[in-house]
């Protein structure tokens, strides 16, 4: 297994357009997380899934954002009617419970630029 993968790696779009990102977690990891990272900041939590169930959503996840994990494997994050403020790196991570705590493994991210 090569780790968490994300596609596309880069996306440039015009304001008002819809975009969709995909995350493929490490196989057999039952938890999947989405984060957003803006320049000069650490990642900020958006949402997470356990299998196909979306268990928690941050207040950062406005109505224009929707995330799915239909079969409990890959996940998609869609942003509708993009705004310039949506420009950021979108990171995905996956994990399985270990003895001490949940260790999350991050993908390389999708960098979004909204013009």
Partner 1 sequence: TQLLEQSPQFLSIQEGENLTVYCNSSSVFSSLQWYRQEPGEGPVLLVTVVTGGEVKKLKRLTFQFGDARKDSSLHITAAQPGDTGLYLCETGANNLFFGTGTRLTVIP
Which segment (11-19, 70-78, 79-87, 97-105) binds partner 1 by CB under 8 A?
Answer: 97-105
106 makes contact with partner 1 (CB under 8 A): yes
Please select the residue that binds partner 1; options are 27, 28, 42, 84, rule is CB under 8 A. 42
User: Which phi and psi angles does 79 have, rounded to 5°?
Assistant: -120, 120
Both structure tokens of 109: 């991210």
Length of the chain: 115
Residue 19 and residue 79 in contact, taking contact as beta carbons nearer than 8 Å: yes
Per rule CB under 8 A, is residue 109 in the interface with partner 1? yes
Cβ-proximal residues to 52 (8 Å cutoff; 6+ apart), any chain: 69, 70, 71, 72
From 21, 32, 36, 48, residue interacting with partner 1 (rule: CB under 8 A) = 48
Binding interface with partner 1 (CB under 8 A): 4, 9, 31, 33, 35, 40-45, 48, 55-56, 58, 91, 93, 100-109, 111
């Amino acid at each position: 297994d090569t780790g968490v993968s994300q596609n596309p790696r880069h996306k440039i779009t015009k304001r008002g357009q819809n975009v969709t990102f995909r995350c493929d977690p490490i196989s057999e990891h039952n938890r999947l997380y989405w984060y957003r990272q803006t320049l000069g900041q650490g990642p900020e939590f958006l949402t997470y899934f356990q299998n196909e169930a979306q268990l928690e959503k941050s207040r950062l996840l406005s109505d224009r954002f929707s995330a799915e994990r239909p079969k409990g494997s890959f996940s998609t994050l869609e942003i509708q009617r993009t705004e310039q403020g949506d420009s950021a790196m979108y990171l995905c991570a996956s994990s399985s419970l270990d003895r001490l705590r949940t260790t999350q493994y991050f993908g390389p991210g999708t960098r979004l630029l909204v013009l």
